[in-house]
Every structure is written in structure tokens, then in C-alpha cells.
Amino acid sequence: MKDLPVSPLAPDCFPDLPDVAGVEASCSRIGLYRHVRDELLVVRLAEGTAVAGALTRSQTRSADVAWCAAGLKEGRARMLVAHAGNSNAFTGAAGEAKNAATVAEAVRLTGCRQHEVFLSATGVIGVPLPPRTVADRLETAVAALGPPDWEAMARTIGTTDTFPKGAGARLDLDGTPVAIVGIAKGSGMIAPDMATMLVYLFTDAAISPGLLQSLVSQHVDTTFNAITVDSDTSTSDTLLVFATGAAGHALIEDAADPRAQAFSQALHGVMQDLALQVVRDGEGATRLVTITVEGAASDLSARRIALAIANSPLVKTAIAGADANWGRVVMAVGKSGEPVDTSALSIRFGGVWTARDGGAVPYDEAPIQAHMNGQEIDILVRVGAGGGQARVWTCDLTHGYISINGDYRS
Amino acid sequence: MKDLPVSPLAPDCFPDLPDVAGVEASCSRIGLYRHVRDELLVVRLAEGTAVAGALTRSQTRSADVAWCAAGLKEGRARMLVAHAGNSNAFTGAAGEAKNAATVAEAVRLTGCRQHEVFLSATGVIGVPLPPRTVADRLETAVAALGPPDWEAMARTIGTTDTFPKGAGARLDLDGTPVAIVGIAKGSGMIAPDMATMLVYLFTDAAISPGLLQSLVSQHVDTTFNAITVDSDTSTSDTLLVFATGAAGHALIEDAADPRAQAFSQALHGVMQDLALQVVRDGEGATRLVTITVEGAASDLSARRIALAIANSPLVKTAIAGADANWGRVVMAVGKSGEPVDTSALSIRFGGVWTARDGGAVPYDEAPIQAHMNGQEIDILVRVGAGGGQARVWTCDLTHGYISINGDYRS
């Protein structure tokens, strides 16, 4: 990770995370960075591991993302090879050649099928790497596989991150203890020389690829697709969830199975924890902002309104200035283009209503200013157009963001 | 206007603008600002003046915008009453009462019809004014009407603007000299305590409301709808074009009339000039950025791609840092969601290609760095998906933007 000051919103320490049966990992150095740091993460997964995921919708997605998309269709995984320092995006045939060499070597070393190998890369866009950059390091990395050091793994994939991100849960599925652990990196939605969002979750639960995918798709909307730092979309964003089945319980394949519901709840908790850590490490962030929209025409409409507020530079700079500028929230609601009854529009900062039923209301300055001076800002907006609701998270827009992304020359 | 340093991108001086027959104006003070400044602009237009326009699409548009929408349907204007210091947006019944009183007084003073009165307001959102705030000043303002002082008019409607914006053209329509003059205000797309975009054009050409509206609608897409400062949409954005007909030539009502084409071209020039002045006064701007997209699936698709680039905080901060970061342009193209052939994607900064046909190309650092150090940045992007093209303008995202919008408390 880069030598930036740790975000003021960072957790006190990396959490204590459980082991996950069927998962081995190693962290090692390729040399893509001038300074000494590990940037190659290799994970080997038990035979029969199910995989599900979510990938960037970018029209200029990287070769690695395209490769993962093909693998997700088959639903099985044996190996994850991820590196920081070069995104392998916009690298054309050279990028595909690099991936082919990496996959061939992984297949040779583990005896798995091609599409059981998953690839990720993050870093500079448009700089092709020699084809065997990763392949030539794989044998050593595989020889070093052992019990996962989750914090080291999170650090290995980090770029502009100012702290390593991890979260986990333990649950009991009809007497079988099961673990879920996730690691993530990301601080801007993207910065080609630096950042993107990569998220990997590992569990020893035994769950079918189809059910796993449906749970991931459901939860990603309320977690990783409900956060925004700067509205920019990475070419490389990748979320993968690996279920090794090594916990030993009978396979879960029916969504109505009570174990599926328990697992789903725990999975959602880990995904949400990681997503909020990404926002807490937003470039230049000094405040974590939770935006809740109620009374929209639909849940989707509520999400669009919430994201219009969360992505508004004027709302985000006001929050940076500890200013409960609800007029800018009115503006952002309007800009969403979604149905709104302005005569019912109400806005609350912290616990204090600043506008109700279409107009300003008098309020005490002291409690609202105390809330705005804090690190966690809550904005509730009711738009009076129906029963739809949504919640999204963002951070403020500060001089720090400009400094990280603008104060240098290439 | 506020006491901010003048934008480094400002023109050297306010242009020398012609008189427009049939237009009288006055600038006066209501007292909405604590310091002494005019903030009320009243314009009286000759009988039979045609009007056309474009209004914000915001779902939380102001009462004034809603009033103008009704007037535009009828196509005739006799009076414009615009003030800075309070946007009259999100003011509910109180805002409508204020407008009703203003309109009634204007009708009493000029003998025109209600919907021949046009209203604009810019400033803080959600603070209702007493109903007669403007009405009680109208008689004095009307008594002061005289030949327009365009620069004073532009200053009167200004808020965070750092320079007054005006542009004009003279043309000859089959022997009759005709003038077009426009004034504008705007520096952020909105900032509720401060800014919004108001644009008024005046011409003594005789042109039917229907034809005038079709020309305005056509040109607004390539001018005011092709600029962006911060992607935020005002509750109050208003563009009105008044054609008094006082030049005395025969009415133009057919788009195929050669005079219509000459007028259209001149109108487009004035609109474009004003639109670029708004970008040049973008909050914190130090560079004017022209983004051209070619080879898109359609012109609309090209515009969406161009706006995705122009609204990307990462692209805008890179430009602030004089960094030809074409990887961020690749990212922004991808995030647009529009059809793109990445193997044909090419990007040029100034005259220098940094990427061609889907990959990086070697380039000389010196000329590109000289271009990036300048005040006017040109980015050309070819996406290889068809024949669609578009051009948009924006400015860089700097510490100045954060300071203007975040470094204060309400």
C-alpha cells in the first residue's frame, strides 16, 4: 500500500478472523513496484469449490474481468491469482497473452481446469506486461501456500488504500461450525495509477454455485453497489465469493433451506462491513455519510435518488465543510429525475428535521452542528411518491481528494 | 457578484455590444444582500415580442421556472423580472404568492397579459420571501427603464460569477440590420447559497415563436446542454430568447427561409460564446477543457460518452494537475455504458496521440506537457462504434472548487 496517512475513519485495528477450511494462500513479490512490497496473492481452493461474483459493468473492463466472467458461468474455482501494480486493462492482445500464460501455468501446477482459475489485477491502465510476468512466479508462490494470513493478503492487493480491509463471521449450520472471511481493497472507485475495488470472500460452507450466485447478486445491490466515493467506475472491479464446502455439512442448494437463510444473513453482514470499510478509506474522506431515502416510487427509484445525493459534488463539499446544507440535497433530489412530490419533501440531518412537507422548518443550530462536526453523518430524505426505500453510503469531498488525484504530474 | 478573484480564464474585458430595438432595462436594489449592490433586473419588451426558451429538467424546479414554462407555451413576452439573492425554490405556497404579487404588479404597470411576464430568481433555496418583496419595487424599476446597459445587467443577476458575461452579433437580413445580444450568469451548475445559470438573449429580429423555439431547442443541445462544471443541476436554470421584431423586416416563420438560416447561425454563435464563458467561470477553474468524441454509435451516444469524461472527478483532477492521464479517459469511456470497440479506442491530448487502436502508443513528453500546462485543453476520443460525434466543454476540478463550496459553515 502507498505511504498515505491512515484515514481518520479507519477501524482501530484489523479484526481477528477465523480460519476457513479448504483455503490456502501465499503473498509474494513480482517486482512491479520499485519499493519492496508483496503484490502477488495466490489462493488455492479445495476441490469442488463453488464460486459466485459480481463484476464491473464498465465497457472498457480489463482482460482479467472478462476472464472471470467466463469462469463464473461454470461456477467452480480452484485458484485465485491477483496482483497489484498493473491493471492489465486496455492492453489488448498482450493482456490476453499474459493471462493465457498465467492460467496455463496454474493448470499445470494444480491439475485443475482453465476456468477454475480466477484472475484479478489492479494498477496502471494501458501498460502491457511481458506474458510470463506472473506465470514465472507461480511455482514459487504455490510452493509457499499455507494457512491464510488475512491481513497480509489484504495488504498485498492494496494500492492507495490507507488500511487493510477484512471482515468475518462464524455461524453454526445445524451443528456444523462454518466461517466466512472477506478481504477488500479500494479507496477511489478507480484511479488508473493506483486504485480499484477488489473483494474476495471465502467460506467453508457447502453451497451450490447457483444458490451462492443468487445470494451474492441480492446482497451486492445493498452493499458494494450502494457505496460511492467519486462516482467513477473501475475497469477492474471484481467481487468473488468462494465456498469450499470443507466444513463438511450436507450441500445447501435450496433458498428455502433455513441454513441458506442463516448463511445469507452472515454473508450480507460481511459484505456490508467490507463495503463500509471501502467508503471509510475513500480518497481524502473525513466523514462517512449514510443517506436513506424513503417514500420513493420504488426501491430502485429510491436508490437512484440516494445515489444522486451521494454523488453530488455540492452535497459532498458541504459535508466536508460541516454544513447541513439541505438546499443542496433538494437540488440533488431534483437532478435525479425520479418522481418526487415536492410538497411532501422532508430532509433530516442527524435527528433534526431541516425541511418538512415541502418547506424549511425552524431548528436548533446546536445539535445539528454537533452532528455535522462528527465523523458519521446521517441524512434521511422522504420524497412522498410511494413506498420505495434505499440506503447508500459515501464520504465527503475534500481538499485531500484533489491532492491525491490532482497534485502530481505523470 | 461575490468578492472572489476573477477567473484566470476570463475574457480581457466585457465586449462592446449593440443596442437592440424594442428592449428597455433597469437595474436596481431590493436589499436581499447585506452589501450594497443591484440585484433586481427588469426588462420591458416591445409589444408583440416572441419568446422561446429552455428550462431546467429538475424535479425540484423553482416556482419561477414553473411560471416561465407556462408562459413559453403561449410564446409572447412583454416583461422579464429577474433577481439574485434568493432562488424562490422549495418555497411552496409562499413562493407562488410572491410570484403572483409580482406578476399582478407587472400587469398593472404595463397592461400586458399575465403570461407575458417572465420571472427568474437565483440564490439560496428554501427561504420564502415576503410576497411583495419584488412587487413593491417594480414601479420604481419601471420608471427607471431606459436603453440597456448590458454589462450592468449581467452584473445585476450575478452571484458567484467572477466576471460579467455578455456576447452579441450583428447581422443583415435582406438589407435590415438586426442585432442579437445575450447576457448570462453561472459558475457552478448550482450552489444554493450562490449560483445557478440564467441566460437571456434579446434580438430585434421579427421571428415567430414556433420557429424561434425550434432554433433554441436545436442550439441548446450543442451549447448550454454541452457544458458541465460539476454535474449538478440547478433548480432554477433558465434560458430565454426574446425577439422584439422592432428591426422592422417582414416576419420570419419558415425554417427554409434563408434569413432563418442566417439568424440561426448568429444565434448559435452568441449562445456558444455565452456557454463557454460560463465554463470559463466554473468554480475554481484554471483550465477550459474541450472534449470531442467521434465514432460513437450515434450523436446522442457520443454526447453521453463526452459527458461521462467531462463529469469524471478523476479526469478533472488529473487535468488540474496538468497530467495527460489518458487511462482515466479510458475508465470514463467505459463507465458511460455506451457501445465502444475497445480495439479501436484512440485518445489524443492536444495534437498528440497517447493511445491508438486499443493500446498505448509512444509519444514525445515535451509537446504534450506544454499543452497540459496551458489554459485550454483539447481531448479527442474515437470509440470505433459508428459515425456519431459530439463536443462538450468543462473545466478542471481544483482545490478552488472545494474552497468555494466546502470551506464555510452555514
Task: List pLDDT tens digits, range A195-250.
Answer: 578 999 999 999 999 999 999 999 998 898 888 876 666 777 899 999 999 999 99
**The pLDDT value given to residue B337:** 87
Chain B, residues 237-296, CB within 8 A of chain A, namely: none
For residue A409, is pLDDT > 50?
no
Of the candidates B119, B120, B127, B122, which has an alpha carbon nearest to the alpha carbon of residue B90?
B127
Q: What is the mean pLDDT of residues B73-95?
A: 94
Nearest to B330 among A56, A125, A320 (CB): A125
Chain A: nearest CA to B251, how far in angstroms?
38
For residue A124, is pLDDT > 80?
yes
Angle of helix A313-320 relative to helix A299-310, nearest 10 degrees, comes to 60
Nearest to B360 among A126, A326, A369 (CB): A126
Q: Which of A196, A233, A235, A394 is catalytic?
A: A196
Comparison of pLDDT for A160 and B360, the residue scoring more: B360
Q: Is A318 left (phi over 0), alpha (psi -120 to 50) or beta?
A: alpha
**The pLDDT value given to residue B407:** 67
Chain B, residues 98-127, CB within 8 A of chain A, namely: 124-127
**The pLDDT value given to residue A389:** 97
Element (H, E) at B320: helix B313-320
* Identical fold, B23-280 and B288-406: no
**The pLDDT value given to residue A231:** 65
Q: pLDDT-derived band of residue B193, with 50, 70 and 90 as boundaries?
A: very low
**Where in chain A are the domains?**
23-280, 288-406
Cβ–Cβ pairs < 8 A, chains A and B: 241
Q: pLDDT-derived band of residue B408, with 50, 70 and 90 as boundaries?
A: low
> Any catalytic annotation for residue A290?
no
Of the candidates A84, A92, A82, which has an alpha carbon nearest to the alpha carbon of residue A60?
A92
Comparison of pLDDT for B255 and B283, the residue scoring more: B255
Nearest to B323 among A232, A359, A410 (CB): A410
Q: What is the pLDDT of residues A44-96, one digit of tens each?
A: 999 999 999 999 888 888 899 999 999 999 999 999 999 999 989 889 899 99
> B60 and A340 in contact by Cβ < 8 A?
yes
Comparison of pLDDT for B402 and A376, the residue scoring more: A376
Q: What is the pLDDT of residues A299-315, one digit of tens each?
A: 999 999 999 999 888 89
Q: pLDDT-derived band of residue A1, with 50, 70 and 90 as boundaries?
A: very low
Q: What is the pLDDT of residues B302-353, one digit of tens each?
A: 999 999 999 888 899 999 999 999 989 998 998 888 999 999 999 999 999 9
Comparison of pLDDT for B235 and A325, the residue scoring more: A325
Chain A: nearest CA to B113, how far in angstroms?
28
Q: Which of B56, B159, B196, B235 is catalytic?
A: B196
**The pLDDT value given to residue A3:** 63
Nearest to A334 among B235, B327, B343 (CB): B235
B333 touches chain A (CB under 8 A): yes
CATH architecture of the domain B23-280 equals 4-Layer Sandwich (3.60)
Q: pLDDT-derived band of residue A405, with 50, 70 and 90 as boundaries?
A: confident
Q: pLDDT-derived band of residue B190, with 50, 70 and 90 as boundaries?
A: very low
Q: What dotted CATH number matches A288-406?
A: 3.10.20.340
Instruction: Tell me if ipTM is over 0.90.
Output: no
For residue B393, is pLDDT > 80?
yes
**The pLDDT value given to residue B191:** 37
Global pTM reads 0.85
> A125 and B231 in contact by Cβ < 8 A?
no
Q: What percent of chain B has pLDDT over 70?
A: 95
CA–CA distance, B247 with B228 (Å, rounded to integer):
35
Of the candidates A259, A294, A277, which has an alpha carbon nearest to the alpha carbon of residue A223?
A277
The 3-class SS string of chain A reads CCCCCCCCCCCCCCCCCCCCCCEEEEEECCCCCCCCCCCEEEEEECCCCEEEEEECCCCCCCHHHHHHHHHHHHCECCEEEEEECCCCCCCHHHHHHHHHHHHHHHHHHHCCCHHHEEEEEECCCCCCCCCCCCHHHHHHHHHCCECCCHHHHHHHCCCCCCCCEEEEEEEEECCEEEEEEEEEECCCCCECCCECCEEEEEECCCECHHHHHHHHHHHHHHCHHHEECCCCCCCCCEEEEEECCCCCCCCECCCCCHHHHHHHHHHHHHHHHHHHHHHHCCCCCCCEEEEEEEEECCHHHHHHHHHHHHCCHHHHHHHHCCCCCHHHHHHHHHHCCCCCCHHHCEEEECCEEEEECCEECCCCHHHHHHHHHCCEEEEEEECCCCCEEEEEEEECCCHHHHHHHHCCCC
CA–CA distance, B347 with B345 (Å, rounded to integer):
7
The sign of the torsion formed by the CA atoms of B297, B299, B305, B309 equals: positive
Amino acid at A149: D
